[in-house]
A and B are shown apart, each in its own frame.
Chain A
Amino acid sequence: MKKVLFSIFSLISLSINAQVFTTSTGNVNFISATKFEEFSAQNNQVSAAVSADKGVVQFKVPVNSFQFEKALMQTHFQENYMESATYPNSTFKGKIKDASSVKFNTDGVYDVVAEGTLELHGVSKEISVPGKITVKGNAVNLAANFSILCSDYGVKIPKNNMNQVSNSISIKVNCDLAPKKKK
Chain B
Amino acid sequence: MKKIIFIAAALVLIGGAVGYYLYTKPSEFVSDGDPDFKMNLSAVIDESNKLKDGEFSTKYTGKSVEFDAEVESIIENGRSKTLVLKSGVEDFVVNANFHESNVEVLQKIVAGDKVKLQCECSGVTKPESEDDLLSEVVLNFTRCNLK
* Residue from the list A44, A45, A60, A68 in contact with B134, Cβ < 8 A: A60
Docked complex Cα distance between A70 and B25 (Å): 6
> SS class of chain B's interface: helix, strand, loop or mixed?
mixed
Interfacial chain B residues near A45, Cβ < 8 Å: 82, 95, 97, 122, 138, 140, 142
Interfacial chain A residues near B75, Cβ < 8 Å: 25
Decide if A62 touches B125 in the complex (CB within 8 Å): yes
Task: Of the listed stretches B5-13, B26-34, B35-43, B105-113, name the one at the interface; the rest are far from the partner chain.
Answer: B26-34
Decide if A24 touches B136 in the complex (CB within 8 Å): yes
- The answer to whether A64 and B78 touch (CB under 8 A), given A58-B133, A69-B26, is no
- The answer to whether A68 and B78 touch (CB under 8 A), given A24-B136, A89-B125, is no
Nearest CB of chain B from residue A144's CB, rounded to whole Å? 16
Decide if B123 touches A67 in the complex (CB within 8 Å): no
Q: Quick one: CB contact mask for B55-94 with A, threshold 8 Å, 1 for yes?
A: 0011001100000000000010110101010000010010
- List residues 68-106 of chain A with CB under 8 A from any CB of chain B: 68-72, 74, 85, 88-89
Nearest CB of chain B from residue A88's CB, rounded to whole Å? 6
B22 at the interface (CB under 8 A from A): yes
B contacts with A, residue count (CB < 8 A): 36
Chain B residue at smallest Cβ distance from A79: B62
Docked complex Cα distance between A25 and B125 (Å): 13
A65 at the interface (CB under 8 A from B): yes
A27 at the interface (CB under 8 A from B): yes
A22 at the interface (CB under 8 A from B): yes
Docked complex Cα distance between A48 and B26 (Å): 30
Decide if B125 touches A69 in the complex (CB within 8 Å): no
A contacts with B, residue count (CB < 8 A): 32
Chain B residue at smallest Cβ distance from A93: B133
Docked complex Cα distance between A119 and B142 (Å): 23
* Residue from the list A44, A47, A68 in contact with B82, Cβ < 8 A: A44
Q: Quick one: CB contact mask for B123-143 with A, threshold 8 Å, 1 for yes?
A: 101000000111110101011
Q: Which of A51, A65, A70 has the most CB of B within 10 A?
A: A65
Decide if B123 touches A62 in the complex (CB within 8 Å): yes
- The answer to whether A70 and B26 touch (CB under 8 A), given A44-B80, A64-B62, is yes
A20 at the interface (CB under 8 A from B): yes
Decide if B57 touches A44 in the complex (CB within 8 Å): no
Footprint of A on B, CB under 8 Å?
22-29, 53, 57-58, 61-62, 75, 77-78, 80, 82, 84, 90, 93, 95, 97, 99, 122-123, 125, 132-136, 138, 140, 142-143
Can you list 10 pairs linking A and B with CB atoms under 8 Å apart? A44-B97, A56-B133, A62-B123, A62-B125, A64-B122, A65-B97, A65-B142, A67-B27, A68-B27, A69-B27
New contact pairs (10) apart from A45-B82, A71-B28, CB-CB < 8 Å: A20-B133, A51-B133, A58-B132, A58-B133, A65-B123, A67-B142, A68-B27, A69-B26, A72-B23, A85-B57
